[in-house]
Amino acid sequence: MSLITTSRGLAEVCRRVAQHPFITVDTEFLRETTFWPKLCVVQLASPEEAVAVDALAEGLDLAPFFDLMADPKLVKVFHAARQDIEIMWNLARIIPAPLFDTQIAAMVCGFGEQISYGELAQAIAKVSLDKSSRFTDWSRRPLSEAQVQYAIADVTHLRDVYVHLRDRLEASGRLSWLDDEMALLTSSATYEQHPESAWERFRNRVRKPRDLAVLIEVAAWRETEAQSRDVPRGRVLKDDTLMEIALAAPRTAEELGNLRAFPRGMERSRAGIEILAAVHRGLARDPKSLPKLVRERRSVGGGATVELLKVLLRQVGETHGVAPKMIATAEDLEALAANDRANVPALAGWRREIFGEKALELKHGRLALTVENGKVVALEWQEQAAQEV
């Protein structure tokens, strides 16, 4: 088994793989019972070797690995990198760069939205991955040979996937199309957990300023409590209970205990006292200090515009071989339908070039959509009119 369990062994591997232009990286972790993901295994592969690192091995120092991730000369290749990077940020405040995410690259190359690593390995490397160890407990020791081989396979074939996608992007001149997504993945703001922002997960479930004020305070308390205890948010307070508190705004322990979803007896505990304090802080907030809840009311015409934009988006995606979600989200389309100068990616850079300009033309009647041979086709209205004359 190519399993690294010592600091010296890890340092030697990191020194060797750093000599190459790129490495592939993956992690195995658990977070079912914790707030912060628990790193269990790290997988690394250069063009010449592939290893698994037992991150839970006694006395193992991960510093050489984190130094490797920070090496500006080495491209770090991941598939669906966000959770892997979150782990490194939490443990060492390190964000791998330069970075290449094969899931995002595959979307630009026409492999569809959020394609799995297994599907890419099958399509590009022509291999079928053994997923029998996928749901094993990666924190149990010793690791079995099957687990190690499964883990290493996740970076072995990723080398071929990376080279294929990189070459396709370079040949088509689309490598720069990944820049915005890589910038998002390598921004520390993507991984920072701010309790005061925890309410945003529920922004569509409150309508009144008072409810919002209480939600902000109680959600911040839950986030802080979960982080300090390193337990899942739901173990502190379930989402439905959190929303019930925000909407009911109980002032006393008795009122809190009478809520249907609130755990019996918890109202008299330290947590209950702190929750009530959070409620009172919310009720005391100046409504003018609250975030604005933007609720756009779309007219029938606006809704029809969004639907037409969706058809155009699918047509553009098929024409250029790019996953539609990579070009624009549903929220982007709604914003674009309402405002020609909406601050959305679809109106900037390469997205504007292949979709944004056409979307504006469609909005203002200068582009028509029709069907030819079973496919949607976009026609420049002015050109079509001139031809008919």
Give the C-alpha separation, 226 to 198, whole Å: 12
How far, in Å, CA of 362 to CA of 138, rounded? 52
What percentage of the chain carries pLDDT values higher than 70?
95
Q: What pLDDT, in 10s, does the model give residues 351-361?
A: 999 999 999 99
How far is it, in rounded angstroms, from Cα 342 to Cα 208?
A: 27
In the predicted model, is pLDDT for residue 389 greater than 60?
no
Q: Measure the CA–CA gap between 354 and 115, rounded to whole angstroms.
A: 22
The domain tally of the chain equals 3
Sorting pLDDT into bands at 50, 70 and 90, what band is 130? confident
**Comparing C-alpha atoms, which of 107, 69, 104 is closest to residue 181?**
104
Q: What is the pLDDT of residues 236-282, one digit of tens each?
A: 999 999 999 999 999 999 999 999 999 999 999 999 999 999 999 99
Q: Are 222 and 198 in contact (CB under 8 A)?
A: yes
Provide the pLDDT for residue 367.
87
Q: Is residue 295 part of a domain?
A: no
- Give the relative orientation of helices 239-248 and 270-284 as an angle to the nearest 10 degrees: 50
Domain containing residue 93 = 3-190
Answer yes or no: do 35 and 134 share one domain: yes
Task: Round the average pLDDT of the chain to a whole number and report it.
Answer: 92
Poorest-confidence range of 155-164, 262-271, 317-326, 379-388?
379-388
Confidence of residue 11 (pLDDT cuts 50, 70, 90): very high
Greater confidence (87 vs 373) lies with 87
Exposed/middle/buried for residue 383 (C-beta within 10 Å: 0-12, 13-18, 19+): exposed
pLDDT number for residue 302: 66
**247 and 305 part of one domain:** no
220 and 174 in a common domain: no
Among the listed residues 304, 368, 302, the one whose alpha carbon sits nearest the alpha carbon of residue 335 = 302
Is 342 domain-assigned?
A: yes
User: Do 362 and 213 share a domain, yes or no?
Assistant: no
Whether 255 and 172 share a structural domain: no
Terminal alpha carbon distance of the chain: 75
Question: In the predicted model, is pLDDT for residue 213 greater than 90?
Answer: yes
DSSP 151-162: HHHHHHHHHHHH
Check whether residue 252 and residue 381 sit in a common domain.
Answer: no
Find the CATH number of the domain harbouring 232. 1.10.150.80
Residue 123, token pair as written in the block? 């399509």
At 297, the pLDDT band (50, 70, 90 cuts) reads very low
pLDDT of residue 370: 78
What is the reported pLDDT for 295?
A: 57
pLDDT at 294: 61
Last residue of a domain, one of 259, 289, 319: 289
Q: Is the pLDDT of residue 299 over 70?
A: no
The first and second tokens of residue 103, run together, are: 């899931």
pLDDT at position 185: 95
Q: What is the mean pLDDT of residues 69-95?
A: 97
The mean per-residue pLDDT over the stretch 124-153 comes to 91
Judge whether 309 lies within some domain: yes
- Domain boundary (257, 289, 321) is at 289
Contact in structure between 346 and 330 (CB atoms under 8 Å): no
Q: Provide the token pair at 348.
A: 């900037």
In a domain, 102, yes or no: yes
The answer to whether residue 384 scores a pLDDT higher than 50 is: no
pLDDT of residue 352: 95
Q: Are residues 325 and 381 in the same domain?
A: yes
Looking at 245, 270, 289, the residue that finishes a domain is: 289
Same domain, 226 and 368: no
Assess if residue 294 is contained within a domain: no
Query: Mean per-residue pLDDT for 113-136?
Result: 89
Same structural domain for residues 213 and 344? no
If asked whether residues 230 and 180 sit together in one domain, one would say no
Bridge partners (DSSP) listed for residue 101: 78
d(CA 292, CA 289): 9
CA–centroid distance for 17 within its chain: 28
DSSP assignment of 199-217, as one string?
Answer: GGGGGGG--SHHHHHHHHH
Do 124 and 101 share a structural domain?
yes
CATH number at residue 354: 1.10.150
Q: How far apart are CA 269 and CA 275, in angstroms?
A: 10
If you average pLDDT over residues 40-51, what whole number do you get? Answer: 98
Q: Which helix (H) or strand (E) holds 3?
A: strand 3-4
| Contacts (Cβ under 8 Å, ≥6 apart) of 208 | none
- Give the model confidence (pLDDT) of 158-199 as tens digits: 999 999 999 999 999 999 999 989 999 999 999 998 999 999
Hey, how many other C-beta atoms are within 10 angstroms of the C-beta on 178? 21
Supply the DSSP string of 237-272, one letter for each residue.
S-HHHHHHHHHH---SHHHHHTSTTSPTTGGGSHHH
Give the dihedral of Cα atoms 334, 340, 345, 350; nearest 10 deg: 130
pLDDT at residue 292 in the model: 85
- Asked whether residue 79 is assigned to any structural domain, the reply reads yes
Using the predicted structure, report yes or no on whether residue 298 has a pLDDT greater than 50: no
Span 200-213, average pLDDT: 93
Residues 215 and 127 in one domain: no
How far is Cα 134 from Cα 157, in angstroms, rounded to an integer? 16
Cα distances (angstroms) measured from residue 373 to each of 138, 321, 370, 376 = 52, 19, 10, 8
- Take residue 355 and report the two structure tokens written for it: 């979709």
